[in-house]
């Protein structure tokens, strides 16, 4: 399959994706849209990215809101051990001192959403960063492909990005193309998860509100479909001898039927 892609410098080029690449991409997209659990979404998507473009280590970083601490997820045991010893503070202290992030902010506004560190900085500059010296001591992969994913509602939803590690010079334009093709689906899946979380939050708030007032939901046939906790308490109080809190007392059921 012939596809045209764009480099970080805006250059156009043509790549011929092998049939296996296309098959892997479609499989990952299909699997991505099956994810429903916000708690496992990070690790699930890391697994897919490592299937799409195999790499020895990957990390997902999520910023819940401005001025709040980020959360880190990784499938790499070595990286998780580093995070357990306060590496997060070192990373966040030094990460924006490197020109990569300045270039990334501008480049991500274009068509190309996936960028590697070697697009913007030299290998020597990468090793000068204190946080990277700590990381590379345990994970010797000094070039990183970064995939940015913004929330559905800017400034309100968590902002997240993925970092995939390989050694310097090992990332190819084929890898970038696969990730760029996968990127819009990753964004849509993330927005779906955020939307689902908001709906669940609203449903839980509604349940708490209904519980405080006492509500009985009826089926079209007039039988009880659901009874809130407060309503169940009142049924027992005003109808002595009620056996099941999920059914209406005979007197009340007769009134409903009438």
Which long-range contacts does 27-31 make (Cβ < 8 Å, 24+ apart)? 27/51, 28/52, 28/182, 29/182, 29/185
- Token code pair at residue 205: 């708030």
Reference 193, options 29, 1, 32; nearest CA is 32
The answer to whether 197 and 103 have CB atoms below 8 angstroms apart is no
- Return the residue matching tokens 């993925």: 162
pTM of the model: 0.71
pLDDT for residue 76 is more than 80: yes
Distance CA 249, CA 235 (A): 8
pLDDT confidence tier of residue 82, bands split at 50, 70 and 90: low
Lowest mean pLDDT, pick from 5-14, 40-49, 157-166, 211-220: 5-14
> What fold characterizes domain 18-200?
Beta-Lactamase (3.30.450)
3-state secondary structure of 89: helix
pLDDT for 198 = 85
Span 149-169, pLDDT tens digits: 888 776 678 888 899 999 998
What is the chain's mean pLDDT, rounded? Answer: 80
Please answer whether residues 163 and 7 qualify as being in contact, where contact means their C-beta atoms are separated by less than 8 angstroms.
no
Total number of residues shown for the chain:
258
Domain ranges of the chain: 18-200, 214-257
Per-residue pLDDT, 111:
66
Q: Could you read off the pLDDT of 25-71 as tens digits, one per residue?
A: 999 999 999 998 999 999 999 999 999 999 998 999 888 765 567 78
Q: Where are the alpha helices (DSSP H) in the chain?
A: 19-32, 41-52, 77-83, 87-94, 99-107, 123-128, 130-138, 173-213, 229-238, 250-257
Is 7:180 a contact under the CB 8 Å cutoff?
A: no
Q: What is the pLDDT of residues 113-128, one digit of tens each?
A: 788 888 887 888 778 7
C-alpha pair distances (Å), 97 with each of 9, 36, 161, 190: 22, 37, 18, 29
The pLDDT tens digits for 165-189 are: 999 989 998 999 999 999 999 999 9
């Amino acid at each position: 399959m012939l596809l045209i892609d764009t480099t970080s410098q805006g250059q156009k080029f043509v790549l011929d994706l092998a049939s296996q690449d296309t098959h892997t991409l479609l499989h990952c997209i299909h699997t991505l849209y099956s994810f429903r659990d916000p708690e496992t979404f990070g690790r699930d998507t890391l697994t897919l990215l490592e299937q799409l473009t195999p790499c020895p280590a990957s990390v997902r970083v999520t910023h819940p809101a401005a001025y709040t601490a980020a959360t880190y997820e990784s499938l790499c045991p070595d990286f998780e051990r580093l995070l357990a010893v306060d590496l997060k503070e070192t990373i966040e202290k030094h990460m924006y001192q490197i020109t990569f992030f300045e270039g990334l902010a501008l480049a991500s506004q274009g068509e190309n959403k996936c960028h590697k560190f070697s697009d913007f900085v030299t290998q020597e500059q990468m090793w000068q960063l204190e946080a990277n010296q700590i990381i590379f001591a345990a994970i010797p992969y000094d070039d990183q492909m970064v995939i940015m994913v913004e929330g559905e509602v800017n400034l309100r939803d968590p902002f997240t990005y993925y970092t995939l590690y390989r050694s310097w010079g090992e990332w190819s334009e084929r890898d970038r193309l696969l990730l760029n093709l996968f990127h819009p689906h990753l964004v849509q899946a993330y927005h779906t998860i955020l939307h689902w979380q908001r709906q669940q939050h609203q449903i839980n708030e509604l349940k708490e509100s209904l519980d405080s007032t006492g509500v009985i939901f009826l089926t079209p046939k007039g039988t009880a479909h659901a009874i809130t906790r407060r309503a169940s308490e009142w049924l027992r109080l005003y109808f002595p001898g009620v056996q099941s809190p999920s059914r209406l007392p005979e007197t009340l059921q007769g009134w409903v039927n009438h």
